[in-house]
Structure 1
């Protein structure tokens, strides 16, 4: 029976997660499996990989063939290197101690690289968040400046209008004053003229009396 180590899909739409399973090569992708040996979530950065390394290594040594994706995962965790070293030990090319020493050195270097990548991702995330906050602050300042300028322009536009209204009021007042004077002057003359004529008539009547 041909045995494969492959992924079995689960999870929501567009949020796929996978189980790492050992299954008969003739079984459908999400069908029956022999054993579940891990989980894989590609939606995180770096991707989340959880493996029972002892079981995975045991199946690899028994001849189970991983798919391309699972092989990359096993290589990422160092299990393919461990298999290579163990084959060398079985053939007598190196001792078990030398193989373990090489694998531990590789694992330490790999862990340091993974940690450096995680720190870089965290740093990039912080810098992006800071840049986004700064951009938002600049946008707010620009909006506040635009509103302030708009208010100043409105005040500047209202001032000439108010001055024009004041000038129109003064002009109307000055136009009304001569008209009122012109209407009052004839009245005064009209009242004064009959009084003078009455005085003249009285003086004429007195002179006639004297002559008589």
Structure 2
């Protein structure tokens, strides 16, 4: 029986996670499996892997063939390296102590690398957040300046309109005063003319009366 180490899908729609399992290559992808080795969740950032190292190493040594994705996962966790080192021990190419030392050195370097990558990712996110805040600040400042400009223009426009209205009121007042004065002058002239006409008429009546006498 050919045995493979592969992924079987779990989770909800658009939120998948996978079980890392040992199964007969003839069984369906999400069908029965022989053994469960761990969980792989690619939706997390970074993706998370929970693997039973010893069980995975045992199955690899027994000849279980991992798929490409599972091989990458096992390599990340050091399973494939440990298999290679133990193979060297069996062939007497290196001692068990040397194999353990090399594996521990790789594991330490791997952890340091992961730590550095996480710190870089955190710093990157902080820098992006800082840039986002600065960009929002600039946008808000620009909006505030634009609003202040519009308010100043509106105030200036209202002031001009108010001054124009005052000028119109003054002009109307002057015109009214002028019209009233003209009306008074006209009335005075009319009275004077009428008075002159009355006087003239009185004189004519007096002269007529004398002639009749």
Q: Report the TM-score, using the length of structure 1 for normalisation.
A: 0.88
Distance of 2:171 and 2:41 partners within structure 1: 84
Distance of 2:71 and 2:146 partners within structure 1: 59
C-alpha displacement of 1:135: 1.2
Runs of 4+ in 1 over 6 A off after TM superposition: none
Distance of 1:195 and 1:94 partners within structure 2: 147
Q: Which residue of 1 aligns with 2:39?
A: 39
Q: Which residue of 2 aligns with 1:54?
A: 54
Distance of 2:167 and 2:104 partners within structure 1: 95
Q: Report the TM-score, using the length of structure 2 for normalisation.
A: 0.88
C-alpha displacement of 1:175: 1.8
Distance of 1:30 and 1:189 partners within structure 2: 119
C-alpha displacement of 1:201: 5.8
Q: Which residue of 2 aligns with 1:168?
A: 168
Which consecutive residues of structure 2, in runs of 5 or more, have no partner in the other structure? Answer: none
The verdict on how the C-alpha distance between 1:201 and 1:12 changes in structure 2, with shifts beyond 3 A counting, is: same
Q: Which residue of 1 aligns with 2:110?
A: 110
Question: Is 1:134–2:107 an aligned residue pair?
Answer: no
Distance of 1:194 and 1:21 partners within structure 2: 129
CA deviation vs aligned residue, 1:143-166 (integer Å, no higher than 9, x gap): 111111111011111222222222
The verdict on how the C-alpha distance between 1:45 and 1:194 changes in structure 2, with shifts beyond 3 A counting, is: closer
The verdict on how the C-alpha distance between 1:51 and 1:185 changes in structure 2, with shifts beyond 3 A counting, is: same
1:33 counterpart SS class: coil
RMSD: 2.3
Question: Is 1:81–2:86 an aligned residue pair?
Answer: no
C-alpha displacement of 1:138: 1.4
Q: Which residue of 1 aligns with 2:19?
A: 19
Question: Is 1:158–2:158 an aligned residue pair?
Answer: yes
